[in-house]
Structure 1
Amino acid sequence: MNKLTKLLALAGLAVAVAGAAAFGEECPDTKTQPQLINDYPTNVRGDYIYGCMMVNGQTRDVLDKCACSIDVIASVLPYKEYEEAETIMAVRQRGGESVAYMYAPPMLEKVKNLKRAQVEGEVRCF
Structure 2
Amino acid sequence: MTLAGSMRLIVCTLVVLGGMGLATRADEVNDYPTVARSEYVFGCLKANGETRQAINQCSCSIDVIASLLPYEGYVTAETVLSMSQVRGNLGGQFRSSEQATGALNELRRAQAEAEVRCF
> 1:40 offset after TM fit, Å?
0.4
Q: Give 2:39's match in structure 1, choosing from 47, 55, 58.
A: 47
How many Å separate the matches in 2 of 1:90 and 1:32? Answer: 36
Report how many aligned residue pairs link the two structures.
112
C-alpha distance after superposition, 1:40-76 (max 9, x if no partner):
0100000000000000011111101100000000000
C-alpha distance after superposition, 1:90-111 (max 9, x if no partner):
0111222222111211111111
- Structure that is richer in helix per residue: 2
Please tell me whether residue 96 in structure 1 is matched to residue 88 in structure 2: yes
Q: Which runs of 5+ in 2 are unaligned?
A: none
Normalising by structure 1, what TM-score?
A: 0.78
How many Å separate the matches in 2 of 1:24 and 1:53? Answer: 50
Task: Give 1 or 2 for the bigger CA radius of gyration.
Answer: 1
Match of 1:22 in 2: 8
Alignment of 1:1-126 (within 5 A): 14=2, 18=4, 21-22=7-8, 24-25=10-11, 28=15, 29-31=18-20, 33=22, 35-36=25-26, 37=28, 38-102=30-94, 103-126=96-119
Normalising by structure 2, what TM-score?
A: 0.82
Q: Which deviates more, 21-30 or 115-124?
A: 21-30
How many Å separate the matches in 2 of 1:125 and 1:23? Answer: 44
Q: Structure 1's 32 and 97: CA in aligned 2 closer, same or farther, altered over 3 A?
A: closer
Read off the aligned partner of 1:80 and give its amino acid letter: E
Identity of aligned residues (%): 38
